[in-house]
Chain A
């Protein structure tokens, strides 16, 4: 699927209820055009993972997801030899000489594909999502480099496997640690921040059916206001969506101090934050 320009990307994403701003649309357009992976960075819950899902939906591709975690290794990310099957093969076959067998057990039949290899070998183009890449150790990052720059995987026993089709790759990071230069160099960089009030209002209207424009506007403005405070954890977009749903369920039509005070815990998850926001927003605003 080819997009004519960033506007088309934004339109397409909007059709699956993902509202992209100019920056997101431009970078996704470039990623497609230049066949480069995108490294998406930003605070938790601004829709980084959602972007990859939305792109999969838009392009009709399968989404292959690799969730990163500390201790992720080659065997779980790239490929692994199916040693049980290999053992069985060796034991079941006593007639043949060793040369034939050893050649046989290192063939594709005994290869277990993990997400990265699966994305490369897929016959249909896919969207590959490497989620929370900042969670793996620096050393493990190197596993990704070959795939990101050349869309290929080298397996010592088999040779190099190149991509049948060009996958669209998204990496997400919460920026808990600095990623290596080598990794960044191979990617387009996209920082997604909290949306401005206008865009958030649109997002709310798209995501929460039945929400009035007025209420969506109010929710977005309150969210902006809360984010301007110095909090342990600012409310994410998903949390404002939850909050809008809550308000809808309570059939609230107008956000006032009382409603806000009663429902703040949907937006904020730390007691200290809730107290602070309640103090700032619901009591007097004399400052």
Chain B
């Protein structure tokens, strides 16, 4: 058992999940305390001890499937030693085996019955048959199994299965629209369950064929925080949404932070407590902490075509920020700039905000290619007078200016009029100033410039941001 678990932990680390020494020892201890013949028990035990972040669960599930897929489920009836140390080759029904007669219709009906009767045992048997006959797996091919999965599902004719399931469960009654919707969702959940079973079965066979490490390597995906924001898929972006909330909250806290000053009112309780050390003489008065000030943040997002995925992310970020900053103003630009603060008002969901920005905001002036110079100029002439020494300006963009004049002098004015100016660039630092990128022109006017290609880098930025404190006081 031990080697399998260490191998599993290595795989988790390989996939980027941080597992500390202490945690791996905890996992070992915990595994000793449980019945490892039970797959659910083992999975939840390892999960509770090794994975401390919801975002890493996907990596955990994949790795677990691969490393422990040979543990039979409770009903399979297994001997004591077989499952763990066992020779993976023993997995039932190798490829091509038991060809003979194959009755597609019988399988279809069996699955239908298993799903509508919620019979887990029958479902598993049906799935095994389906993979046996429909996946057409070829031993030795270094694939992750996605192709086999789709082939099996296509040949199973899921749409037909769904229809029939719907009919079988609806019975003869006339359904209201609400009931129909609920029923359809139930059927979808069942089909999803079938899909997962098939995927698991295929992975089990792949492991039997090529060994754990090899399959794990093929299936390894970057963690959500390491995905390049420029190339993230929309499902990746959806996954990121949960992570953005806590991040913006933290940013709000960091921006609100000030150097410790004795500006608060006298804290009587703590002063008296402290005075005990000096025999009741209040030699060291204690003060209440001053209220954190409300940071004022202006966000300028490049939403041009080259930034499509990234800008969707920054807009998500903006949307999340708008709930934590009372004084947040957001602006979008392509070759000119428009204020989009109102599109992110309270109670407006993200989807409709984005569609309104793309249709209503006036961000295109000439040809719809990025023009930072003109955008900045428009920004400064329209809104510049409203900048105050309390304002933190954050610009997100790749600074690719299509060889137009950068007009970075205006950025210097913006920097002068605000508390701090931060630039987040989604391109790798090595690409800055190549081609039409004018990053260094802008960088020298910024308080700080950061490469933010991944969620992790954004986290680092939020973690380390320090702004010149108290400028407002000097000026006031």
Contacts and interface: CB of A to CB of B under 8 A. Distances in A.
Tell me if chain B binds chain A: yes
Interface of A: 5-6, 22-23, 26-27, 29-30, 33-34, 36, 38-39, 41, 71, 80-81, 83, 86-87, 90, 137, 175-178, 181, 184-185, 187-191, 196-197, 218, 221-222, 224-225, 228, 230-232, 255-257, 260, 270-272, 276, 281-282, 284-285
A257 B180 CA distance: 12
B196 interface: no
Given A22-B44, A81-B276, A221-B186, 5 more contacts: A34-B30, A83-B272, A87-B280, A177-B246, A222-B182
A185 B20 contact: yes
Interface string B185-222: 11001000000000000000000000000000000000
A22 B177 CA distance: 34
Contacts, number: 123
B340 to A, nearest CB: 18
A87 B245 CA distance: 48
Contact of B52 (A184, A222, A272): A184
Given A22-B40, A33-B33, A189 B47 contact: yes
12 contacts: A22-B44, A26-B44, A83-B276, A176-B246, A181-B20, A184-B52, A189-B48, A189-B52, A228-B185, A232-B349, A271-B347, A285-B180
A218 B186 CA distance: 11
B347 A272 contact: yes
Contact of A26 (B22, B40, B245, B351): B40
A185 B23 contact: yes
Nearest to B20: A185
Nearest to A23: B44
A285 B182 CA distance: 10
Interface in B235-258: 242, 245-247, 249-250, 253
Interface of B: 18, 20, 22-23, 26, 29-30, 33-35, 40-41, 44-45, 47-49, 51-54, 57, 176-178, 180-182, 185-186, 189, 242, 245-247, 249-250, 253, 272-273, 276, 280, 289, 347-351, 459
A255 B178 contact: yes
Contact of A282 (B34, B40, B178): B178
A126 to B, nearest CB: 22
A228 B188 CA distance: 12
A34 B41 contact: no
A281 B57 CA distance: 31
Contacts of A218: 182
A284 B51 CA distance: 43
A62 to B, nearest CB: 25
Nearest to B347: A272
Contact of A41 (B22, B30, B54): B54
Closest 10 CB pairs of A and B: A26-B44, A184-B52, A272-B347, A188-B48, A221-B182, A189-B52, A285-B181, A177-B246, A27-B48, A33-B33
Contact of B49 (A80, A177, A188, A221): A188
B250 A178 contact: yes
A21 B235 CA distance: 27
A65 B181 CA distance: 43
Contacts of A231: 349
B54 A191 contact: yes
A41 B348 CA distance: 27
A231 B347 CA distance: 9
Contacts of A33: 30, 33
Given A188-B49, A221-B186, A230-B349, A177 B249 contact: yes
Nearest to B270: A75
Contact of A30 (B30, B253, B459): B30
Contacts of B276: 81, 83, 86-87
A284 B348 CA distance: 23
A87 B269 CA distance: 13
Nearest to B41: A26
A36 B26 contact: yes
A213 to B, nearest CB: 15
